[in-house]
């Protein structure tokens, strides 16, 4: 777990540079949380759609459903942390937690055998992004900025061996919780990430339905987190030039 904690400041600060206004150069402020509880489900339904360019992408005869259910892994309950960092009015955060998750995919393509796939997930990601109205949008597994450096959008909740939409086409369709900075400053934050969001891109159209519960507990910079706080504090300036 300490390897993840030590990497968090670097990951978040790299992404924060992408999100921060041009010319920003201030010391970042950080808030740490443990993920006390999480469970829920997300379902992706999609089909090849002419309006989304299915002819060009070769997806007009393809449709499918991917269902994902997960809960915090009680055997690794201590493996769940999140870091929210802010600078110059921008905010970005990442969280990683141990889960017991199950994916089930059923995809049909005209003229081909159905694709049936199942997969287990042992790790999940939370993403935090500051909004223009001063709040923070929190989602499961979603990259939070379009121009984030390659490799920083860590996990797709719907990755299977079957055909389907690319993660980049789904990122904006994931339901999220929008909370105030004041709420995130409380000792304990209970989040409901739920909704039904449509998407149309990359030859597919469809929607994502989610019903997820996450509980965050604010942590102080003591014990194992002291190393992380010191690492973040040593990164004295952040700017995009």
Write down the pLDDT at residue 77: 65
Report the distance separating Cα 127 and Cα 142, nearest Å. 6
Question: 169 with 204: CB under 8 angstroms?
Answer: yes
Q: At residue 115, does pLDDT exceed 80? A: yes
Per-residue pLDDT tens digits for 20-61: 444 444 555 778 888 888 899 999 999 999 999 999 999 999
Q: At residue 203, does pLDDT exceed 90? A: yes
Write down the pLDDT at residue 62: 97
Per-residue pLDDT tens digits for 117-175: 999 888 888 888 888 888 888 888 755 444 344 444 445 678 889 999 987 788 777 88
**DSSP characters over 86-117:** EETTEEEEEEEEEEEEEEEEEEEETTSPPEEE
Strands 62-72 and 29-48: antiparallel
Question: Considering only CA atoms, which of 130, 135, 70, 127 is closest in space to residue 98?
Answer: 70
Element at 190 (helix H, strand E):
strand 188-201
Report the distance separating Cα 36 and Cα 150, nearest Å. 30
Task: Grade residue 94 by pLDDT with cuts at 50, 70 and 90.
Answer: confident
Report the distance separating Cα 35 and Cα 98, nearest Å. 10
Task: Grade residue 78 by pLDDT with cuts at 50, 70 and 90.
Answer: low
Predicted TM-score (pTM) of this structure:
0.76
């Amino acid at each position: 777990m300490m390897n993840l904690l030590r990497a968090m400041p670097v990951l978040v600060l790299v992404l924060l540079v992408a999100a921060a206004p041009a010319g920003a150069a201030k010391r970042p402020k950080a808030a740490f949380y443990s993920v006390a509880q999480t469970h829920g489900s997300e379902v992706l339904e999609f089909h090849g759609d002419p309006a989304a360019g299915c002819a060009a992408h070769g997806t007009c005869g393809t449709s499918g459903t991917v269902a994902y259910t997960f809960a915090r892994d009680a055997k690794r309950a201590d493996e769940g942390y999140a870091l929210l960092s802010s600078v110059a009015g921008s905010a970005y955060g990442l969280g990683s937690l141990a889960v017991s998750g199950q994916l089930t995919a059923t995809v049909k393509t005209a003229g081909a055998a159905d694709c049936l796939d199942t997969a287990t997930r042992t790790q999940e990601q939370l993403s935090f992004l500051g909004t223009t109205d001063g709040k923070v949008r929190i989602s499961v597994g979603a990259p939070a900025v379009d121009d984030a450096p390659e490799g920083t959008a860590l996990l797709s909740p719907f990755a299977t061996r079957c055909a389907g939409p690319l993660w980049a086409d789904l990122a904006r369709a994931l339901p999220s919780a929008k909370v105030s900075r004041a709420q995130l400053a409380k000792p304990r934050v209970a989040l409901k990430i739920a909704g039904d969001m449509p998407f149309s891109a990359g030859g597919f159209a469809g929607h994502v339905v989610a019903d997820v519960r996450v509980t965050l507990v604010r942590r102080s910079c003591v014990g194992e987190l002291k190393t992380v706080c010191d690492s973040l504090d040593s990164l004295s300036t952040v700017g995009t030039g």
